[in-house]
């Protein structure tokens, strides 16, 4: 059984029906730790050593946040800048994360069709995530396709419940090693592996 660390960053989680429901769905799962950055660091003073120790204790790292301005909320970016230090996460001697897996979990207000070459945003979510993917690769991690929830602003209660259920199943299946490397080769979003559970 793999140990999963969910690094959650949402500056206004009480206003987010979708993210609240998703986090509630995975709360209390065995071998799953939820690290709520805005709850733990309201002053933005990140305990770097504590965060690095948490990373070392887990096998799979989940970066869960809303998609703000084609990126992550400020505290998530600060976490990347401070915690993934040279000599710890990358560089010749920085091998603490080597072999671990990472996955981005995002919620967007926009529908999927606006995240395309012909859509309003001109690029796909995976193209916007290239800096995150490359950061994981630099840290010698295995970066998995993202789990993406589109259209969160107009979603019905039933749709929110369905995504929360899929998210919970994703975390359980990752923890229990239900996927093989080849499962990720041809999919755009990891959601595709959770739709039929």
DSSP codes, 82-134: HHS-BTTTBSTT--TTTT-EEEEEEE-SS-GGGSSTTSTT-S-HHHHTHHHHH
> In this structure, which topology does domain 4-193 adopt according to CATH?
Rossmann fold (3.40.50)
pLDDT the model gives residue 91: 96
Q: pTM of whole model > 0.75?
A: yes
* Distance separating alpha carbons of residues 4 and 174, to the nearest angstrom: 8
Give the pLDDT confidence score for residue 13 in this predicted structure.
83
Length reported for the chain: 197
Residues facing residue 7 across a β-bridge: 35, 63
Closest CA to 58 of 104, 1, 138: 1
DSSP state of 141: -
pLDDT means per 10 residues, the chain with 197 residues, are: 97 90 97 98 97 98 95 97 98 97 95 90 95 98 97 92 96 95 92 77
CA–CA separation, 37 and 160 (whole Å): 23
Tell me which H or E stretch contains 44.
Answer: none
Q: How far apart are CA 121 and CA 113, in angstroms?
A: 9
Domain boundary assignment for the chain: 4-193
Give the list of residues 6+ apart from residue 99 with CB closer than 8 angstroms, or none.
140, 141, 142
Question: What pLDDT was estimated at residue 196?
Answer: 57
User: What are φ and ψ of residue 131, in 5° steps?
Assistant: -60, -35
Q: Checking DSSP bridges between strand 147-149 and strand 101-107, what pairing results, if any?
A: parallel
Q: What is the pLDDT of residues 111-142, one digit of tens each?
A: 989 998 898 999 999 999 999 999 999 999 99
pLDDT on residue 112: 87
């Amino acid at each position: 059984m793999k140990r999963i660390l969910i690094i959650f960053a949402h500056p206004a989680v009480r206003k987010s029906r979708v993210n609240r429901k998703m986090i509630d769905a995975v709360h209390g799962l065995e071998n799953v730790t939820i690290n709520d950055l805005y709850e733990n660091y309201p002053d933005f003073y990140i305990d770097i050593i504590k965060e690095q120790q948490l990373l070392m204790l887990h096998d799979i790292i989940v970066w869960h946040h809303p998609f703000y301005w084609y990126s992550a909320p400020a505290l998530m970016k600060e976490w990347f800048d401070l915690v993934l230090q040279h000599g710890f996460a990358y560089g010749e001697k920085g091998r603490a994360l080597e072999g671990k897996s990472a996955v981005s979990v995002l919620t967007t207000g926009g529908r999927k069709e606006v995240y395309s070459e012909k859509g309003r945003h001109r690029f796909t979510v995976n193209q916007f995530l290239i800096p995150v993917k490359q950061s994981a690769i630099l840290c010698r991690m295995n970066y998995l396709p993202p789990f993406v929830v589109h259209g969160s602003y107009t979603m019905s209660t039933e749709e929110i419940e369905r995504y929360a259920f899929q998210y919970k199943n994703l975390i359980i299946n990752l923890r229990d090693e239900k996927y093989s490397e080849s499962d990720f080769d041809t999919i755009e979003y990891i959601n595709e592996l959770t739709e039929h559970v």
